[in-house]
Structure formats: C-alpha cells, structure tokens
Amino acid sequence: MAAIEVTDLWKSFGDNHVLQGVSLTVPDGQTYVVLGGSGSGKTVLMKHVIGLLKPDRGRVVVGGKEISALEGKALTEARQQFGMVFQGAALFDSMNVFDNVAFPLRERRRGQKLSREEVRARVVEKLAVVDLGEEVLPRWPAELSGGMRKRVALARALVSDPQVVLYDEPTTGLDPITTNYVDEMIQHAKERLGITSMVISHDIASAFRVADRMAVLYDGRLAAEGTPAEVRDSKDPFVQRFLSTWFQKQ
Amino acid sequence: MRTLRAGIEDFGRMLFFATETVAWALRPPARLELILAQMAFIGAGSAFIVGVTGTFAGMVFGLQMNFAMKQFAAEGYVGGSTAFALSRELSPVFTALMVTGRAGSAIATELGTMRVTEQIDAMETMAVSPIQYLVVPRVIASILMFPALTMLFNALGFAGAYVMGVYVAGIPEGPFIAHTREIVGPDDIFHGLWKAVIFGAIVSLITTWRGYSASGGARGVGEGTTRAVVSSSIAILVADYAATVLFVGT
Ligand SMILES: Nc1ncnc2c1ncn2[C@@H]1O[C@H](COP(=O)(O)OP(=O)(O)OP(=O)(O)O)[C@@H](O)[C@H]1O
Ligand SMILES: [Mg+2]
C-alpha cells in the first residue's frame, strides 16, 4: 500500500515554475529521500504533501486521503497522522523547549488526558534520542544553537508517534556524530514503529544510508527515481554530475 | 486601479478570515488559559496607559468646558458635559486608539513574526488550527477588555474633571454632581460600551489578520504592523461615526 502518492504535481509562483509534473509514490513504512540542488523545489514539494501549499495541478494522497483537496477543519484532522521537521526548525519562540516538544502531545492527545508525568517522561525520552539532556527543558529557542534547535524540532515532530514523518534537511547544520544519531533515529522509526518517512537531504552519504527509494529533483521534474542502486546508475547527466562529487571521494 | 483591486481583494480575504475566526471560536476545545493570558496582556497591560490618558483627557476637557461655560455663567454644567462627552465618545474612541497603539501593534508583530518564521505553518502541521489557537483568544480578549478599559477611562476621566472643576476652578460640588446626574444616565454609558465592543472586534481582527497574512521577512512584518495600526485607527473613527448614526440618528 502507498502511504504517500503524488501525481503530476505542478506549482508556479508567478513566473517561477517550480514543479512541473512531479509524480512519486512512497510505499507504506518505507523511507523516501528527495535530493536536489538548492532552490530546486524540494521544500515546496514537501509542503504540498502536508497541505501547506495547494498545487496548480495534480494531486497528493496520503493514507488514502486526498490532502490537496481538503480545506479547513477536514485538513486539520487529516494532519493528525503527520509530523514535520521544518528546514528552519520553526520552534515556537514564545515557549521554552519543554513546552515546544510537549505541544503536539498535549494537543493531539486531548482526548487521552496524559498526566504531567507521562508528558514529561515522553518529552525527556524524545530529547534523549537526539542527544539533548534535561538541562535544555527550561531554555528558550533563542538561547539554543542552530543545531540544538534542529534537534528540538526533531523531537517535537516525533513525540506524538505520527505515522508519516516529513524531514526537511534534518541533518543540515549537525556534526557528523549527531547526523549519525538522526540517521539511526529514522531507521529505528521505520523498523520498530513502521513509520513512513520522506526526507529531504543535501547529505548524499546519509541519503544512501537511510533510503529505501529516492529521487533527484531537477528543473521541476524528477531527473531520477527508484531504489538507491537505480538512482546511482542513472544515465541522466544531471544526476551523474550531482552524485559524482560524492562518489569520487569514495 | 491595480491598488484599488488589490485592496478590495485583501478586504475580501479579511472578511473570509473573520468568518473563519467565528467558526473556530464556536468549535471545541475552548482555550480558556489562552484567553486569560490575552486578557492580561491586552487588558491589564493597557490599564496604565489608558488610565493616564483618561485622567489627562478628563482634566483638560474639564478645564476647557469651564472656560466655555463661564461665559454663560453655567459652570455647574462642567461635570455633566464632560461626563456626557467621555461616556459616549472620548472614552471608547481614545481607549481603542491607545490599545491599538500598544497591544494591536504587538499582536500584528507577534503573529507576523510567527508567520514568516514558519511557526504558524508548523502549528498547522501539528493539526492545531492557528486561527483557533492564536487568533480566537486575542479577538475574544479584545471584545471583553475594550469595554472594561473604557470604563476605567470613564472613571478616571470623570475624576480628573472633578478635581479640575471643583478644586482648581472652584465650582461648587453640589451643582457639579447634580447636573451630572441630570445629563448623564446609564444609556450614555452603554452607548459608549457598545462602541467599545465593536472597536475591540474590529481592532483585533485587523491586527491579527495583518500578522497572519504577513510575508517577506522582517520588512514585511514591519509593513504589516504599520498597516495594522493605520487601518485600525481609521476603522475606529469610521465605525464610531457609523455607530453614532445608527444609535442616535443624524
Ligand atoms: N512561498 C513562496 N512564494 C514564492 N516563491 C517561493 C515560495 N516558496 C518557494 N519559492 C520558490 O520556489 C523555489 C524552490 O524553493 P524551495 O524552498 O522548494 O527550494 P529547496 O529545493 O528546498 O532549496 P534548499 O535546498 O535551498 O532548501 C525557489 O525559487 C523559491 O524562490
Ligand atoms: Mg528547502
């Protein structure tokens, strides 16, 4: 079964034709990596998947629901199953780290009424996964380094155990050790919890490590799409150039 | 022509935003703690500036009325005429303008910053409606606090006029109070409070909309805030005229 299905997606901002017919399928419980140059439209593609942007043409279906056609309350409800890590972390700067990470728990589990201790335990647990200790809980986003903000954003996206997680450059700005942690976290989420992930990455090494399938976005279209092996062997000149910088080092 | 059309389009989107706000206000959950926090910020936080303005407005108006009435030997009416002007016009309008400057600009800046740093998008991805979480509490708090602050303005404004009239200008207290009772009744107070309710709704919707729809980084947030304050101020004056015509005729 396909968790995410993007069909013939087109999007322009004025004269800037960002997406020109992108189609892809993310099978349930797999990790899909989107590669591409800066400004190629990766973030725009991801925002369509979660319904923050509306396509000019084409459609997006996630978990059987046509996200691209939903509005208002229906869209809000369809997002219950999602988590997303924004490229710029997008932490709420009026809340400290604890309240940021606890936010999805408190909001999504309103019916369940988690106790204070349970909320705290889950927040601490998720922060530990990204190597942050309890001492960061009372700190404000403005007091954190860029990499720490990113890790808090990762914890926040995962804390309510969503079924589909979208990561917009989760490892950009992190040191190699933390990058490894994050890769393991994505793997772990897939293997233990069956979570479907879509990952935008600039880090080709980590992309080939975590991907079940991948795509290279170029000039508004997917220049290559398939398993990591298929993409590596792609004859597309842009894909070859894009990957060669990294494979030459190996 | 182009700007006119853009203006009308923008106004239409704001009306749609206002209906969305009403719809989300009626849906559970009711977020009492957020409403209380906004009441503290908009109401308690503005009490000082509104109180100072009220006191001085009452003092100056009292002196001017004393100067005018003396020419007809009608100083006894200073209290009544000041209270009449305060309760029906000065208090609601001045209060709304002062609160727009203090709290309205802060609302537009805060929501605008949240918009351009993708915090509002992030909230949406967590299946929480930013309209319900951010806009509704500010609108409800404004509708409740504008009349409360208007009452404060009334009280301190009249006290200011009393001090100036009775102690400084030496008007006998008896006629000062008696004529005030004759001229001003509960109707006049309610006339002003109804206006305050309307101003609270208008100011909060305009300022939240300018923040919510901000784009283009720090500069866009600044422009949005300026527009929020300017259009709120004009809207207060226009609505004041409309409400006066509606309530008392021409
Ligand atoms: N809200 C928007 N309004 C107008 N143009 C936009 C908007 N969002 C993105 N764009 C444009 O779309 C193009 C693709 O942007 P996008 O953010 O998707 O790039 P990206 O592939 O994520 O790049 P990076 O790797 O640098 O993050 C850019 O040219 C950008 O200017
Ligand atoms: Mg991007």
pLDDT at A109: 61
Q: How many residues does chain B have?
A: 250
Mutation test of the interface with chain A: which of B119, B132, B136, B138, choosing the one with the most A Cβ atoms within 10 A? B119
pLDDT at A110: 62
Contact B199, B148 (CB under 8 A): no
> Of B164, B9, B124, B13, which is closest to residue A104 (Cα–Cα)?
B124
Residue nearest to atom 2 of ligand 1 (CA): A13
pLDDT at A156: 94
pLDDT at A249: 56
Q: Pocket of ligand 1, candidates A18, A53, A216: which has the most ligand atoms within 8 Å of its Cβ, to mutate? A: A18
A87 in ligand 1 pocket by Cβ < 6 Å?
A: yes
Torsion of CA B54, B57, B59, B64, to 10 degrees: -160
Within chain A, strands assigned E span 2-13, 16-27, 31-36, 57-62, 65-66, 82-85, 164-168, 196-200, 213-218, 221-226
> Of B246, B222, B226, B244, which is closest to residue B234 (Cα–Cα)?
B226
| B121 to A93: CB separation less than 8 angstroms, yes or no | no
CB-closest option in B117, B124, B129 to A52: B124
Q: Pocket of ligand 1, candidates A9, A16, A238: which has the most ligand atoms within 8 Å of its Cβ, to mutate? A: A16
| Of B148 and A250, more confident | B148
* DSSP-assigned letters across all residues of B191-205: HHHHHHHHHHHHHHH
- A31-36 and A57-62 beta bridge pairing: unpaired
pLDDT at B133: 95
Interface predicted TM-score (ipTM) of this complex, two decimals: 0.89
For residue A42, the ligand 1 atom closest to its alpha carbon is: 21
Domain residue spans of chain B: 31-247
Cα–Cα distance between A235 and A223 in angstroms, integer?
A: 10
Burial label for B227, CB within 10 Å (0-12, 13-18, 19+), is middle
Amino acid identity, position B221: V
Number of domains chain A is built from: 1
pLDDT at B250: 65
pLDDT at B75: 83
Q: What is the CATH number of the domain that holds A220?
A: 3.40.50.300
The residue range of the domain holding A93 is 2-247
pLDDT at A248: 65
Cα–Cα distance between A158 and A150 in angstroms, integer?
A: 13
Q: How many residues does chain A have?
A: 250
What angle is formed at CA A26 by the lines to CA A24 and CA A27, rounded to 5 degrees? 135
Residue B42 has pLDDT above 70, yes or no: yes
Torsion of CA B11, B12, B13, B14, to 10 degrees: 50
How close does chain A come to B232, measured CA to CA in Å? 25
Digits of tens for pLDDT over chain A (250 positions)?
A: 568 999 999 999 999 999 999 999 999 999 999 999 888 999 999 999 999 999 999 999 998 889 988 888 888 888 888 899 999 899 999 999 999 999 998 887 666 677 888 899 999 999 988 888 999 999 999 999 888 898 999 999 989 888 899 999 988 878 888 888 888 888 888 888 888 999 998 888 888 989 999 999 998 999 999 999 999 988 888 888 888 876 665 5
